[in-house]
Amino acid sequence: MSGLSLGKKIVLFGLLVIVMMTGLHYSAGGIEKFTPLTSSVRDLLSPVQRVIMIVGREVSDFVSTPARLIGLSQDFRQLEKKNSELESQLLQFKEISEENIRLKKMLDFNTGLAPQMATEAAAVTGRDHGNWFGSITINKGENQDIKSDMTVITPAGLVGRVIRVSDNTAEVLLITDPRSGVGSMVQETRSPGIVEGVTGGQGSLIMVHIPTDLTPDKGNRVITAGLGSVFPKGIPIGTVREVRKEEAGLFKMAEVEPYVDFNRLEEVLVVTSFKLETP
């Protein structure tokens, strides 16, 4: 066979192909069973078909990969957008839930003083960034019958008093401002004094001019005294944290931990009227 010329080899290969095609033609009618020639040809060509199939699949994958990547990229961007929307909705839901909790506490405001008070709920809309514990702005004003010197509270305790009013806003001086002075007394010992804000005290309070013979103890409750004051009597202010002598030595002073968290003021109640119940 090795001595055959190239031309003879081509002729033999051509004859072989003709014989194979002729055999396939005459065996096409047998659908149920392959002829020996058809079976032999199929077995011979099967590895070649498999190679062609694999190569064709790889070529198809190679051609279609960029399109799939583009589709995946678009799907990923859509998923990112959807995820951002869901995160935003979750934050909004959390904020609404926390606001509802705070408002519910206001609606449930039920100290011994609550039945004697008429209040108007308001939201805090601004603060003095130069003096965070000095004053706040609320979203109620003259149109909602808010007036100067009205007491401002939360269910936890005293916040301050209204000092300026516009049609739909009001400025509230906080009791943590050094300019504020609240006539107070210690509930347990009935010790009188004045509660003031501390300059640079980050929301701290002190009670000054406490008589030395009525020294309060740590943990005693401080409330508004009500005598000659714009604040109704009995509103909680805070608890005594520490007691010491004043510099002059004639009175005692006490550091007071406020009940109200002045860092997180978001809603308040303005006391529009107060009626002291008589027996």
Specify if 279 maps to a domain.
Answer: no
Hey, is 195 helix, strand or coil?
A: strand
User: What's the sign of the alpha-carbon dihedral 234, 237, 243, 245?
Assistant: negative
State residue 37's pLDDT score: 59
95 and 149 housed in the same domain: no
State residue 9's pLDDT score: 57
8-22, 117-131, 143-157: which has the minimum mean pLDDT? 8-22
Specify if 82 maps to a domain.
Answer: yes
Alpha-carbon distance values, 121 to 237, 253, 270, 272 (Å):
19, 34, 6, 10
Specify if 30 maps to a domain.
Answer: no
78 and 61 housed in the same domain: yes
What confidence tens digit (pLDDT) does each residue in 4-46 have? 565 555 556 555 655 555 555 554 444 455 566 566 655 665 6
Specify if 203 maps to a domain.
Answer: yes
77 and 134 housed in the same domain: no
Number of separate domains in the chain: 2
**Over 50: is that where the pLDDT of 278 sits?**
no
49-53, 218-222, 239-243: which has the minimum mean pLDDT? 49-53
Indicate the pLDDT class of residue 249, thresholds 50, 70 and 90: confident
37-46, 126-135, 160-169: which has the minimum mean pLDDT? 37-46
State residue 203's pLDDT score: 82
State residue 241's pLDDT score: 94
What confidence tens digit (pLDDT) does each residue in 48-95 have? 556 666 666 665 565 566 666 677 777 777 777 777 777 766 666 565
Q: Which residues pair with 126 in a beta bridge?
A: 137
136 and 262 housed in the same domain: yes
53 and 137 housed in the same domain: no
State residue 279's pLDDT score: 40
Specify if 4 maps to a domain.
Answer: yes
Specify if 191 maps to a domain.
Answer: yes
Q: Cβ contacts of residue 223 below 8 Å, gap of 6+?
A: 184, 185, 187, 233, 234, 235, 236, 237
What confidence tens digit (pLDDT) does each residue in 177-210 have? 999 999 999 999 999 999 999 887 688 899 999 9
266 and 186 housed in the same domain: yes
State residue 105's pLDDT score: 60
pTM: 0.62
State residue 43's pLDDT score: 64
131 and 268 housed in the same domain: yes
Specify if 70 maps to a domain.
Answer: yes
166 and 102 housed in the same domain: no
Provide the mean pLDDT of the chain: 78
Residue type, 31: I
207 and 268 housed in the same domain: yes
Containing structural domain, residue 17: 1-25+35-108
